Structures are given as C-alpha cells and as structure tokens.
Amino acid sequence: QKEVEQDPGPLSVPEGAIVSLNCTYSNSAFQYFMWYRQYSRKGPELLMYTYSSGNKEDGRFTAQVDKSSKYISLFIRDSQPSDSATYLCAMSRGGGNKLTFGTGTQLKVEL
C-alpha cells in the first residue's frame, strides 16, 4: 500500500462547477501538505502550501487538512477550462524536506 493514495480519475466537470479533489495518507509524521498543478509536458506548479490541520483559501482554491483522519482536500470554485490539468497532492515531514506525492488526479473542465 502506498503512503499517499489519490484517485487518478479522470474527472470531468462542466465549466463553473465546484471541484473536490482529495488524498489520504498513512504516515502520521507528515506535517506539511501541498497541492501542485501539472499541465501536460510541464513541471509541477505549486498551488497551495499548508502546515498541519486547518483550512487555507487563495482565490478560487481552498485547501483543507484533517490530520486526525489523515485526509486532505482541494476545492476549486467556479472551475474554468484552464484548470484542466493533473492535480498532485504532496506531503512532507519538514518544510523543505523531500516530498511524497500521490498519483495525481486528471481533471478536465468542459465548456
């Protein structure tokens, strides 16, 4: 069993929908949680960076961390076709430590 589990999708939603992406993990030592967006043939781009449990909002994006359930989520409001990409969750023990990634969820936002 992998340390970080993420449904690979693909997930297809209409433009304007609210998207919910999530990951579960098994290692309770993880303290830092990130979401990266990866477009085809590009490197991962940092979207959200959070420490420990709680919520963080940035524009249309909200990240939630529930350490008691070992569950993290990313919500995208008013989704746009430009949001179509693969979304990778990642986590680490320390702020600048090596990351453990999920498989990535492929998202398609359709007109």
Partner 1 sequence: GAGVSQSPRYKVAKRGQDVALRCDPISGHVSLFWYQQALGQGPEFLTYFQNEAQLDKSGLPSDRFFAERPEGSVSTLKIQRTQQEDSAVYLCASSLTDSPLHFGNGTRLTVT
Q: Does 40 bind partner 1 (CB under 8 A)?
A: no
Q: Which of 14, 28, 96, 111 binds partner 1 (CB under 8 A)?
A: 96
Decide whether 4 or 76 has the Cβ nearer to partner 1.
4
Nearest approach in angstroms of CB 1 to partner 1 is: 15
Q: Which residues make beta-bridge pairs with 50?
A: 33
Give the side-chain half-sphere CA count within 13 A for 29: 9
d(CA 4, CA 70): 10
Between the CA of residue 10 and those of 65, 67, 107, what are the distances in Å? 23, 26, 6
Binding of partner 1 at residue 61 (CB under 8 A)?
A: no
Cβ 16 to partner 1 shortest distance, Å:
28
- 3-state SS assignment for residue 9: coil
Q: Could you list the residues that contact partner 1 (CB under 8 A)?
A: 4, 6, 8, 34, 36, 41-46, 49, 88, 90, 94-96, 98-104
